[in-house]
Structure 1
Amino acid sequence: MEKNNRTIVNAWCMYDWANSVHALVIVSSIFPVYFSATAHGASGTSDIDFLGFQIKSSVLFSYTVSTAFLITALLVPLCTAIADITGKKKRFMQFFCYTGALSCMLLYFFTKDTLIPSVFLFGLSLIGWAGSIVFYDSYLPDIATEDKYDHYSARGFSLGYLGSVLLLLFNLSMILAPQFYGITNKAIPARISFFTVGVWWILFAQIPFHYLPDGDSVKRKSGSWIFNGFKELRKVFDRLKEQPYLAKFLTAFFIYTMGLRTVMYVATIFGATELKLPSQSLIITVLLIQLVGIAGSYTFAWLSGIIGNIYALMTGVVVWIGICAGAYYTTEAMEFYIVACAVGMVMGGMQSLSRSTYSKLIPENVTDTASYFSFYDVTEKIAIVIGTFIYGGVEHLTGSMRNSILALLVIFVCGLILLSRIPSRKVYHFQLDRNQN
């Protein structure tokens, strides 16, 4: 495939435009607020009866995220193995995309009476989103040269921020002015928002689905597809012994992603439950995060060009440590907004730079990029499972989300220490050039 082809690269970036509405509307803004307002026990408390267990609604939200990503981590090796054998990488990307989008559309029927099936639909939407991202990410080394990874990755995240903001603005207009649309039931605008996410996701995903190739098939290996999938992960794991920098990066990535992605999934619940902020304020805050995030993605791509990827990532982790410290002491709405702006600056930038850094560290002679990105995404999903489980578990045991934030702060500190063990390519080449001169 021709690399750096403008049409193919732009089509690839459009999947960020298509799927990011799920991350914004379902994960970060409208759905968590609606969930917090709807998931109540018979007495009106936050403790609800879920499958015979009494559990706080915020803890249930965290555990649902953990379970969904655990299932994804188990599914990904099987799917990438079949994709490698059949050369149908795009087909699996489509399958997960449509699964997630249809689950979002069915969340239109989420009411107090349909809480249990709606929780399962929420989990299924996460599986669909996360599964499709595995195959989406694996296209980056196929369509671009290494010197373009940071730029194209940042472009994708920026398009995702922009597209999701446009849909959120439309949904927000329904929530704030339902009478303009002839809506009298106050719960309907939020439920329509869930439906529009599915429609938007499917509609714009057709652009990358049209232009991206299926992928190259490889000779079928002996044994079952299931075991071959996990064998591929084991093969990548064994190769890490020969690639110490890649191994060190994945270890650091695993740790700081626990904190980063957990914040992404629980920030709105924290504002709604701990700070008692009104729904409109929370949604507008998330909108602000998205707008700041566009600048953040390009800022980190620019920063990596000056000081190198590793030092740019370390800078981001330091900011995350400050965010956790600030959030722990946050009691007022304005303080929450300031913390949210800081989150926006580092959220997308860190994710974008992590993806491109990993792409750079993959050996150039590797052809089975789906297997490498399967390993990357399984690492990320397990990190999310552990991070959200720790967050929910600490709150469950102590009764306070603020203690959960302290746990995240410790996680980020560990991530910073691990990143500091990796030499930056930028500094290495600078020193090499200076010695030669």
Structure 2
Amino acid sequence: MNKPVLPVNSPKVINAWCSYDIANSAYILSVNTVLYPIFYQQVTQNAFGSEMIPFMGLSIRNTVLYEYAIALGYFIVILLTLSLSGIADMGGYRKRFMQFFTLLGSLACIGLYGFNGANIGLGLLLPMVAVLGFAGSLVYYNSFLPIIATPDRHDRISARGFSFGYAGSMLLLIFNIFSLQNYELFGFSDKLEAIRFSFIEVGIWWLVVSQIAFYYLREEHKKVQLDTTIFTRGFHEIFKVLSYIKKHKAMYRFLLSFFFFSMGVQTIIIVASLFGKAELGITDTKLIMTILIIQLVAILGAVVFGRVSSRFGNKTSLLWMLAIWVFVCFSAYSVHDEYQFYALAALVGLVMGGIQSQARSTWSKLIPSDTTDTASYFSFYDSTEKLAIVIGMLGFGIIEHLTGSMRNSTLLLSLFFIVSFVIIAVTKLKKEEPSLV
């Protein structure tokens, strides 16, 4: 096994690692969360004259079809990351795979410019590929955290990374909003054309800003035999890690809890703007401003809960946040005006920033300190999250399809958070790392 050659706890390396959150968060915020769902709804309705789209012999609501496509994209991520992570650990290919998925995702994002509503296949395929690039790169990005810092610093560093991402992506979104509201000033024919051009901007941003992390992150490469057995050997690494996880109750219980609350958190992030538009009739401009509020509060949430975890332990911090998420879901069911929606959005931002950063740092502390299989360990972490997104999005979409309302789907999400709370509450986390408990 190759040993990492990065200096531990180096401020320069840590900040470079955090900068990748600025790069890829621009996609997940500007495109995946805000602009593309709004653009997709509008252009498909313009093209087909209704929110119902004929697809493979069926008539499906445009939002439901999008939810299914994203779910399929994340399922493909699971298959690929589990296949490649063992190889990355064997040969020291974490950075190379991270670069590959970054290139794939950024090019798919740029390609969204060509979607006009009528070519619905392209409008579903490219977001799937972009999601594959985004989520695939995160596996290898996250796997560097245990390499670049000691466990006692993971909470703060993870929180810093997410804070960087929230702040950087927010700045780009503000520029995109400005160009959207002043589309004539930038030479666009209408607002939809301005949104389409923003896909190119985000794709280039993702590709260019990521080079900071790629410049500073490095690892030794071990020569591995590139033949038909490489996947077999890669899976051997994965099964070795799986065997370790199964023997340690804290690890597999945390993954189970992470699975349930990720079904709720990630689904809410993806469908938030769709919910505001479909259920409350909130205008696109107000929806975008709401997302900006969420991002601002998320920075605070990441920092605050990072400090809470450092003082009271990750378990206590996670339990507090899960309780708030349950409240959010029940409140979403009864929200009926935009001001209630704004208040709820601020609360979502607080716990979104906290739970994303602290889940990552908790898992990094649970990983054995002497392992070189960090990509394999994080492949289970990220695959758990992506499987949660698949099931969460499918469940949300099915209930919306059957009942005709997203409100009913929020009750399903509350159940996920309750189950996660119970699992964490009865789990004794690793004694060797006191900051966990």
What is the CA-CA distance between 1:428 and the residue it aligns to?
9.9
- The alpha-carbon distance between structure 1 residues 361 and 106, as it changes in their structure 2 partners (threshold 3 A), is same
Checking the alignment, whether the CA contact within 8 Å between 1:313 and 1:353 is kept in structure 2 is: yes
Decide which moves more: 38-47 or 177-186.
38-47
User: Among residues 348, 352, 356, which one is paired with 2:353 in the alignment?
Assistant: 348
Higher mean C-alpha deviation, range 25-34 or range 126-135: 25-34
Letter in 1 for 2:76: I
Q: CA RMSD in A?
A: 2.0
Give the 3 Å change call, closer, same or farther, for CA 426–331 of structure 1 in structure 2. Answer: farther
Gaps of 5+ in 1: 433-437
What's 2:281 paired with? 276
2:120 maps to 115
Q: What is the aligned counterpart of 1:93 among 91, 98, 101?
A: 98
TM-superposed CA distance for 1:51, in Å, is: 3.7
Q: Could you list the per-position Cα deviations for residues 362-381 of structure 1 after superposition, in whole angstroms to 9, with x for gaps in the alignment?
A: 11221211111111111111
Deviation at 1:42?
A: 6.1
Q: 1:224 Cα shift?
A: 2.5
What's 2:87 paired with? 82
1:370 maps to what in 2?
375
Give the percent of matched residue pairs that are identical in Structure 1 and Structure 2: 41
Task: Give, in whole Å, the separation in 2 of the partners of 1:215 and 1:133.
Answer: 20
* Deviation of the 1:20 alpha carbon: 0.2
Q: Distance in 2 between matches of 1:309 and 1:91?
A: 32
Q: CA deviation at 1:422?
A: 1.6
Q: Residues 114 and 70 of structure 1: is their aligned pair in 2 closer, same or farther, counting only changes over 3 Å? A: same
Alignment correspondent of 1:235: 240
Contact 2:46 2:117 in 1 (8 A): no
Q: What is aligned with 1:287? A: 292
**Residue segments in structure 2 that go unaligned for 5+ positions in a row:** 1-5
SS at match of 2:162: helix
Q: CA deviation at 1:409?
A: 0.7
Match of 2:332 in 1: 327
Q: Cα distance, 1:330 vs. partner? A: 0.7
Determine whether 1:198 maps to 2:190.
no
Deviation (angstroms), 1:82: 2.4
Q: Which of 140, 160, 182 is the matching residue for 1:177?
A: 182
Deviates more, 1:359-368 or 1:124-133: 359-368
Matched to 1:97, the amino acid is: T
Do residues 23 (structure 1) and 28 (structure 2) align?
yes
Shift of 1:196: 0.7
8 Å CA contact 1:85–1:220 kept in 2: the answer is no
After superposing the two structures, state which structure 1 stretch, 230-239 or 111-120, moved more: 230-239
1:338 aligns with 2:343: yes
1:157·1:294 contact (CA, 8 Å) conserved in 2?
Answer: yes
Look up the match of 1:140.
145
- Deviation for aligned residue 1:251: 1.0
Q: In the superposition, relative to structure 1, how do residues 424 and 236 fare at CA in structure 2: closer, same or farther (>3 Å)?
A: closer
Amino acid of the residue matched to residue 411 of structure 1? F
Aligned to 2:399: 394
CA contact (8 A) 1:258 1:386 kept: yes
Tell me the CA shift for residue 321 of structure 1: 0.5
What is aligned with 1:309? 314
Cα distance, 1:220 vs structure 2: 5.9
Q: In 2 relative to 1, CA 368–39 (structure 1 residues): closer, same or farther, beyond 3 Å? A: same
Q: Residue 221 and residue 210 in structure 1: after superposition, are their counterparts in 2 closer, same or farther (change >3 A)?
A: closer
SS at match of 2:185: helix
1:118 offset after TM fit, Å?
A: 2.0
Is 1:64 the counterpart of 2:69? The answer is: yes
| Matched position secondary structure for 2:273 | helix
Give 1:328 shift.
Answer: 0.5
Confirm whether residue 418 of structure 1 aligns to residue 428 of structure 2.
no
In the alignment, the residues of structure 2 paired with residue 193 and residue 77 of structure 1 have an alpha-carbon distance, to the nearest angstrom, of 32
Q: In structure 1, what residue type is equivalent to 2:326? A: I
Amino acid paired to 2:320: T
Trace 1:206-217 onto structure 2 (pairs within 5 A): 206-217=211-222
Q: What displacement does 1:412 show? A: 0.8
Query: Which amino acid in the other structure matches residue 91 of structure 1?
Result: R
CA distance in 2 between counterparts of 1:83 and 1:215 reads 11
Q: 1:406 aligns with which of 404, 407, 411?
A: 411
| Alignment partner of 1:380 is 2:385 | yes
Contact kept, 8 Å, 1:81 with 1:225, in 2: the verdict is no
Per the alignment, in what secondary structure is the counterpart of residue 179 of structure 1?
Answer: coil
**Code of the aligned partner of 2:125:** F
CA change 1:310–1:140 in 2 (3 A) is same
What does residue 435 of structure 1 align with?
A: none
* Alignment partners' CA distance in 2, 1:216 and 1:249: 32
Comparing 169-178 with 43-52, which one deviates more in the overlay? 43-52
Query: Is the alpha carbon distance of 1:352 and 1:73 closer, same or farther for their aligned partners in structure 2, counting shifts above 3 Å?
Result: same
Please give the secondary structure, in 2, of the residue aligned with 1:123: helix
Deviates more, 1:234-243 or 1:200-209: 234-243
Deviations 1:396-423 (A, max 9, x none): 1222211111100111111111110123
CA distances 1:99-123 after superposition (whole Å, capped 9, x unpaired): 0001111111121222221210011
1:159 is matched by which residue type in structure 2? F
Paired amino acid for 1:315? W
Task: Return closer, same or farther for 1:19/1:277 CA change in 2, 3 Å cut-off.
Answer: same
Contact in 2 for aligned 1:394/1:403 (Cα 8 Å): yes
Q: How many residues align?
A: 431
1:108–1:382 Cα change, 3 Å: same
Change in CA separation of 1:2 and 1:412 when aligned onto 2, cut-off 3 Å: same
TM-score (norm 1): 0.94
- Residue 96 of structure 1: how far off its partner (Å): 0.3
Indicate if the aligned counterparts of 1:308 and 1:426 stay in contact, CA closer than 8 A: no
C-alpha deviation, 1:217, in angstroms = 3.0
Superimposed CA distance per residue, residues 230-249 of structure 1 (whole angstroms, 9 cap, x where no aligned partner): 33332222112321111111
CA positional deviation for 1:23: 1.0
Of residues 159-168 and 233-242 in structure 1, the stretch that sits farther from structure 2 once superposed is: 233-242
